[in-house]
Amino acid sequence: DTGVSQDPRHKITKRGQNVTFRCDPISEHNRLYWYRQTLGQGPEFLTYFQNEAQLEKSRLLSDRFSAERPKGSFSTLEIQRTEQGDSAMYLCASSSTVGTGVNIQYFGAGTRLSVL
Amino acid sequence: AQKITQTQPGMFVQEKEAVTLDCTYDTSDPSYGLFWYKQPSSGEMIFLIYQGSYDQQNATEGRYSLNFQKARKSANLVISASQLGDSAMYFCAMRDPSGGYQKVTFGTGTKLQVIP
């Protein structure tokens, strides 16, 4: 069990560029979540998938953001036309519906985005 | 709406001593779950401990215990025998009933520094 893996760990981009992040969940975890964390704050929920279906999106997820999980395994989060306000840590988590029913979300190390 | 409050931005503790990190929560839902996560400087959110609202006993996991006082709506984390590696940000979080309990709402965190 290798844990939740996120790539890249760091991304520096210029305002207006598009960026894409990848998340590989713990194997056989059917739920996958994206959070955003800004400096001095706790993570804020963005969206989650159960298998390949995107079941909830936060109001924080503007039209410039899109997330996919095409085969129910890895997920990508794309930000189009980046703005300086998008600078943050983007965290991915996964969980399983199998077992005790307590939905423990296990997080990756995050992708730190800096928009110049 | 659910809310998590962590009133201690920073805490110091002497190595080998115990420390309590405060967390209060607000919810109108009778069924909820409370979590504590640790975030070292590397960025990864590490799950520490979980308490369900209907659990009869306080949760414990090794050196971590959760002092759950339901009537006061508090869920303080107690770390016994602090170690240098415990220096990190600590986040209290609650499972949010909206979206089928998949969303987790986090507090703003407490930065713990363990002094040798």
Instruction: Report chain A residues whose CB lies below 8 A from the CB of B43.
Output: 89, 91, 109-110, 112
Chain A residues within 8 Å of chain B (Cβ atoms): 31, 33, 40-45, 48, 55-56, 58, 89, 91, 93, 102-110, 112
Q: By percentage, how much of chain B surpasses pLDDT 70?
A: 95
pLDDT category at B84 given cuts 50, 70, 90 is very high
Per-residue tokens: A51: 């298998």
The number of C-alpha atoms within 13 Å of A57 and in the hemisphere containing its C-beta is 13
Q: What is the pLDDT of residues A31-79, one digit of tens each?
A: 999 999 999 899 999 999 999 999 888 888 889 999 999 988 999 999 9
Return the amino acid letter for A74: F
In terms of C-beta distances under 8 Å and separation of at least 24 residues, what long-range contacts does A55-58 make, across chains too?
A55/B99, A55/B100, A55/B102, A56/B99, A56/B100, A56/B102, A56/B103, A58/B103
B106 vs A: CB within 8 A: yes
Per-residue tokens: A65: 């953001």
The DSSP code sequence of B69-113 is ETTTTEEEEEE-S--GGG-EEEEEEEEESTTTTTEEEE---EEEE
Say whether A112 and B43 touch across the interface (CB within 8 A).
Answer: yes
pLDDT higher than 70, residue B51: yes
Q: What is the pLDDT of residues B86-112, one digit of tens each?
A: 999 999 999 876 656 678 899 999 999
pLDDT for res B36: 97
Say whether A55 and B107 touch across the interface (CB within 8 A).
Answer: no
Q: Which residue has the higher pLDDT, A100 or B85?
A: B85
The DSSP code sequence of A14-42 is -TT--EEEEEEPSTT--EEEEEEE-TTS-
